[in-house]
């Protein structure tokens, strides 16, 4: 067991996958000699060379598009978006090509590709370096979307994503990169794509979250425990496919649900969870299903107080939990 | 071409340098946060080229925009306030370093999504042509669009030069080739390292010495005249070198200290100073005076930023739609 932070765990997963399978390569802006903007790919170019750790031209469409082609032809590319905010030039490739390939080819062709994208705010990244993008992509059947929040889950889920025969968008919350540390086993272990995790048990309210918000939710739950309110926290870990069973079991037990996500609240991923609970656990509910998301404003502002206003925080989560507990 | 005031250009270049030295200091003190991309070493390009623009002309640039903003005459005070995230900043604290803008100066701003702004610049040039030819209005403006060598690999670059040439739009494309796209050297990111050649099927263009403010001014003036006179777009590739990291937090693994030291002798500010001294336009006393004036101006900007209030929380909801929903 070693204690790693999130980015070290991701680095380890890429390293192990590349060591185990020569078809695996990584392509992205500055992933080579610079080791990535956040240093996630640090050291890999020295180990695997320029053919397998590719400093690409600055063009996300070619990073993703060429990865789709190579994946069709049997390679296992890992395409890095330097920031999730820059993925949109590649949106067409992901939506129209990668996600539909199996369907349009009668299951003859598949795209075993992973797109890694650092997302999320809280680092003063301002309007173009803070975005959460999951709602655009969870809307696309044919694509899987994974969003781990701990080093343990990130390592295993990245290995699972690389091994997956279908395209996976792998979201890494950049504020968690160095902030979140945890033990990662030396021996191989697995976490399956599509399995949520009850990270804190409780009886009164369920919080459903992912990414940085899972950590904030746990913090809020601890605060509420001292006030006599027992909060359960579910970390989704995978957004597509959604682990409906774990979510529903938790809400059926507690009877109340708060869904927390950092993306713009309106039409965000949490809307889907709320709909699921309303449809399939209605008779168990003791209160209205609640959401707490980012502000519905065009982008995360730079100024620290405004950024803080945008983000759900442990305090804001705790406040909403108190209201819901009192309902 | 209007006569170039070399002393004024020298002062503006120093202003940019000093402004950014202060930015770096404030970043180290965590009063400026996020991402900070300095322009140190490239000042002659902004000052030479933007100095050739007229008030009715337009300027669109990328995220490394401090130098361009100052060269266009934006006041350092609201710029510094923006970097501090204050209400008095150019984007009222919402944007930070990469999105300076000023409507009155036709400075359409810095854009952080690399490549995207080239299309906006083409659209503004189309608007100028439309105003003239369809609306019958007087508008002899020209657009100057700045971008880096890295930005010339994406589709938007080719889309932009293609349309600009097709419609003979009044636009000057100005690529600052500083030999790197972040940590990726030119020869690693493109097969055509003489960037102006990428545009040569579409428009005339050339490679120039971007560290010589006199040459930049002269070539930019000619390019602007070309565009203004209805002959269509022009492409300038200004060779220069970024002396600092890509951003304030760049370990610069992609080059050595010696690489950088070797380029210091080509620092555009030093080159211009030497020229001014040689030609008797400047002496040491005068140089000191300019330096201290500039320093005071930037210190005043820092003070202004420090003393400015943070935005009100409700301002997060301003400026989304014409009518708030
Ligand atoms: C679409 C997009 N992809 C990636 C980035 C991240 N990024 C910012 S600047 C940069 C390198 C730009 O190089 P260049 O265009 O040569 O400009 P320079 O930094 O040299 O001024 C990269 C990769 C971005 N901002 N936008």
A58 touches chain B (CB under 8 A): yes
Residue B2 has a pLDDT of 76
> ipTM score here?
0.94
Give the residue from chain A lying closest to B182, CA to CA.
A30
Structure tokens at A43: 């050291």
Task: Provide the shortest C-alpha distance from residue A204 to chain B (in Å).
Answer: 32
The closest of B130, B254, B274, B152 to B211, measured between CA atoms, is B274
Q: Per this entry, what is the length of chain A? A: 327
Task: Provide the shortest C-alpha distance from residue A176 to chain B (in Å).
Answer: 16
| C-beta A86 within 6 A of ligand 1 | yes
The Å distance, Cα B63 to ligand 1 centre, comes to 8
- pLDDT tens-digit readout, B183-200: 999 999 999 999 999 999
Out of B85, B115, B150, whose CB is closest to A302? B85
- pLDDT tens-digit readout, B121-174: 999 999 999 999 999 999 999 999 999 999 999 999 999 999 999 999 999 999
| Shortest-distance atom of ligand 1 to CA B147 | 15
- Please state, in angstroms and rounded to a whole number, the distance separating the CA atoms of residues B269 and B125: 32
A35 touches chain B (CB under 8 A): yes
Query: CB within 8 A of B61, min separation 6: which ones?
Result: B68, B109, B110, B111, B117, B145, B146, B147
Q: Is the pLDDT of residue B253 over 90?
A: no
Q: Is the pLDDT of residue B251 over 90?
A: no
- Please state, in angstroms and rounded to a whole number, the distance separating the CA atoms of residues A308 and A127: 14
B12 touches chain A (CB under 8 A): no
Task: Provide the shortest C-alpha distance from residue A60 to chain B (in Å).
Answer: 8
Residue A296 has a pLDDT of 97
Say whether A89 and B182 touch across the interface (CB within 8 A): no
Say whether A34 and B254 touch across the interface (CB within 8 A): yes
Q: Which helix (H) or strand (E) holds A234?
A: strand A231-235
- Please state, in angstroms and rounded to a whole number, the distance separating the CA atoms of residues A222 and B70: 50
The Å distance, Cα B150 to ligand 1 centre, comes to 6
List CB contacts (< 8 A) between A35 and chain B.
253
How far, in Å, are A140, A194, A213, A268 from residue A150 at the CA level? 25, 16, 12, 22
B114 touches chain A (CB under 8 A): yes
A261 SS3 class: strand
Q: How many CA atoms lie within 13 A of A36 on its CB side?
A: 27
Say whether B183 and A55 touch across the interface (CB within 8 A): yes
Written in H, E and C, the secondary structure of chain B is CCCCCHHHHHHHHHHHHHHHHHHHHHHHCCCCCCCCCCCCCCHHHHHHHHCCCCCCCEEEEECCCHHHHHHCCCCHHHHHHHHCCCCCCCCCCCCHHHHCCECCCCEEEEECCCCHHHHHHHHHHHHHHHHHHCCCCCCCCCEEEEEEHHHHHCHHHHHHHHHHHHCCCCEEEEEEECCEECCEEHHHHCCCCCCHHHHCCCCCEEEEECCCHHHHHHHHHHHHHHHHCCCCCEEEEEECCCCCCCCCCCCCCCCCHHHHHHHHCCCHHHHHHHHHHHCCCCCHHHHHHHHHHHHHHHHHHHHHHHHCCCCCHHHHHCCCCCCCC
A295 touches chain B (CB under 8 A): yes
What is chain B's mean pLDDT, rounded?
A: 97
Instruction: Give percent of chain B above pLDDT 70.
Output: 100
B24 touches chain A (CB under 8 A): no
- Please state, in angstroms and rounded to a whole number, the distance separating the CA atoms of residues B100 and B109: 5
Say whether B189 and A33 touch across the interface (CB within 8 A): no
Residue spans of chain A under pLDDT 70: none
Q: Which helix (H) or strand (E) holds A238?
A: strand A238-240
| C-beta B214 within 6 A of ligand 1 | no
Residue B21 has a pLDDT of 97
A95 touches chain B (CB under 8 A): no
CB B181 within 8 A of CB A31: no
> How many C-beta atoms surround the C-beta of residue A37 within 10 A?
24
Q: Is the pLDDT of residue B109 over 80?
A: yes
Beta bridge partners of B172: B144, B234
The CATH code of the domain at B6-309 is 3.40.50.970
How far, in Å, are A124, A216, B113 from residue A184 at the CA level? 29, 21, 36
Spatial strand order of the sheet with A144-146 comes to A53-55, A24-28, A76-80, A114-119, A168-173, A144-146, A238-240
Say whether A304 and B94 touch across the interface (CB within 8 A): no
Residue written as tokens 């555009």? B268
Backbone angles phi, psi at A182, to 5 degrees: -175, 165
- Please state, in angstroms and rounded to a whole number, the distance separating the CA atoms of residues B147 and B139: 25
Query: CB within 8 A of A317, min separation 6: which ones?
Result: A207, A213, A216, A217, A219, A220, A258, A260, A292
The Å distance, Cα B151 to ligand 1 centre, comes to 7
A153 SS3 class: helix
pTM to 2 decimals? 0.97
Catalytic, A139? Answer: no
Task: Provide the shortest C-alpha distance from residue A124 to chain B (in Å).
Answer: 5
- Please state, in angstroms and rounded to a whole number, the distance separating the CA atoms of residues A24 and A94: 19
Torsion sign (Cα): A296, A300, A306, A312: positive
Out of A58, A298, A302, whose CB is closest to B150? A58
Domains in chain A with CATH codes? 2-184 (3.40.50.970), 197-326 (3.40.50.920)
Q: How many CA atoms lie within 13 A of B228 on its CB side?
A: 19
Residue of A124, A129, A139, A215 marked active site: A129
Q: Per this entry, what is the length of chain B? A: 325
Structure tokens at B1: 């071409």
Structure tokens at B104: 């009155």
The pairing of strands B58-62 and A238-240 is: unpaired
Residue A201 has a pLDDT of 98
| C-beta A82 within 6 A of ligand 1 | yes
Q: How confident is the model at residue B325 (pLDDT cuts 50, 70, 90)?
A: confident
Torsion sign (Cα): A305, A306, A311, A315: positive
| C-beta B66 within 6 A of ligand 1 | no
- Please state, in angstroms and rounded to a whole number, the distance separating the CA atoms of residues B267 and B273: 10
The Å distance, Cα B114 to ligand 1 centre, comes to 5
Longest dimension (CA), chain A: 59
Residue B190 has a pLDDT of 97
Give the residue from chain A lying closest to B188, CA to CA.
A55
Torsion sign (Cα): B23, B27, B28, B30: positive
Q: Is the pLDDT of residue B3 over 90?
A: no
């Amino acid at each position: 067991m070693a204690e790693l932070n999130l980015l070290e765990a991701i680095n380890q997963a890429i390293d192990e996958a590349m060591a185990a399978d020569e078809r695996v390569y990584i392509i992205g802006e500055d992933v080579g000699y610079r080791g990535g903007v956040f240093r996630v790919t640090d050291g890999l170019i020295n180990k695997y060379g320029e053919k397998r750790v590719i400093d690409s031209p600055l063009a996300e469409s070619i990073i993703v598009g060429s990865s789709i082609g190579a994946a069709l032809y049997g390679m296992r590319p890992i395409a890095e978006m330097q920031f999730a905010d820059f993925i949109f030039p590649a949106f067409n490739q992901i939506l129209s090509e990668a996600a539909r390939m199996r369907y349009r080819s009668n299951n003859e062709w598949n795209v075993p590709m992973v797109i890694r994208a650092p997302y999320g705010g809280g680092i003063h990244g301002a309007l173009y370096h803070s975005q959460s993008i999951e709602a655009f992509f969870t809307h696309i059947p044919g694509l899987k979307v994974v969003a781990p929040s701990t080093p343990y889950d990130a390592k295993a889920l990245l290995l699972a994503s690389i091994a997956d025969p279908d395209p996976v968008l792998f979201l890494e919350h950049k504020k968690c990169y160095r902030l979140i540390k945890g033990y990662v086993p030396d021996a191989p272990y697995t976490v399956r794509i599509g399995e949520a995790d009850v990270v804190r048990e409780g009886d009164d309210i369920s919080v459903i979250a992912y990414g940085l918000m899972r950590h904030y939710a746990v913090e809020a739950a601890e605060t509420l425990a001292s006030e006599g309110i027992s909060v359960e926290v579910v970390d989704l870990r995978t957004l597509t496919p959604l682990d409906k069973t774990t979510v529903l079991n938790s809400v059926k037990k507690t009877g109340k649900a708060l869904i927390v996500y950092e993306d713009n609240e309106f039409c965000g991923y949490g809307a889907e969870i709320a709909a699921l609970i309303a449809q399939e656990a209605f008779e168990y509910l003791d209160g209205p299903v609640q959401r707490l998301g980012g502000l519905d404003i065009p982008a995360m502002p730079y100024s620290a107080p405004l950024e803080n206003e945008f983000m759900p925080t442990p305090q804001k989560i705790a406040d909403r939990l108190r209201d819901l507990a009192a309902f | 071409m209007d006569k170039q005031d070399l002393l004024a250009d020298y002062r503006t270049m120093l202003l940019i340098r000093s402004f950014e030295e202060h930015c770096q200091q404030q970043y180290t003190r965590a009063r400026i946060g996020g991402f900070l991309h300095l322009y140190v070493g490239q000042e002659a390009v902004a000052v030479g080229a933007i100095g050739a623009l007229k008030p009715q002309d337009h300027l669109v640039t990328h995220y490394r925009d401090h130098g361009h903003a100052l060269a266009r005459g934006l006041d350092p005070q609201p710029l510094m306030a923006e970097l501090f995230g204050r209400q008095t900043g150019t984007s009222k604290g919402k944007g930070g370093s990469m999105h300076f803008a000023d409507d009155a100066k036709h400075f359409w701003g810095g854009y952080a999504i690399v490549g995207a702004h080239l299309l906006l610049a083409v659209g503004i040039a189309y608007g100028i042509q439309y105003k003239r030819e369809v609306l019958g209005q007087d508008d002899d403006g020209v657009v100057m669009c700045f971008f880096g060598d890295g930005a010339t690999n994406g589709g938007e670059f080719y889309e932009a030069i293609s349309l600009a040439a097709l419609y003979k739009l009044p636009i000057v494309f100005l690529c600052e080739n500083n030999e790197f796209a972040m940590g990726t050297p030119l020869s690693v990111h493109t097969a055509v390292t003489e960037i102006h050649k990428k545009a040569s099927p579409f428009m005339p263009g050339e490679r120039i010495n971007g560290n010589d403010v006199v040459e930049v001014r002269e070539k930019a003036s000619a390019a602007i005249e070309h565009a203004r006179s209805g002959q269509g777009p022009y492409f300038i590739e200004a060779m220069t070198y970024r002396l600092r990291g890509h951003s304030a937090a760049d370990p610069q693994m992609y080059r050595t200290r010696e690489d950088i030291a070797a380029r210091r002798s080509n620092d555009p500010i030093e080159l211009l100073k030497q020229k001014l001294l040689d030609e008797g336009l400047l002496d040491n006393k005068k140089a000191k005076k300019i330096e201290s004036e500039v320093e005071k101006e930037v210190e005043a900007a820092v003070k202004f930023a420090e003393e400015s209030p943070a935005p009100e929380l409700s301002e997060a909801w301003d400026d989304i739609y014409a009518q708030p929903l």
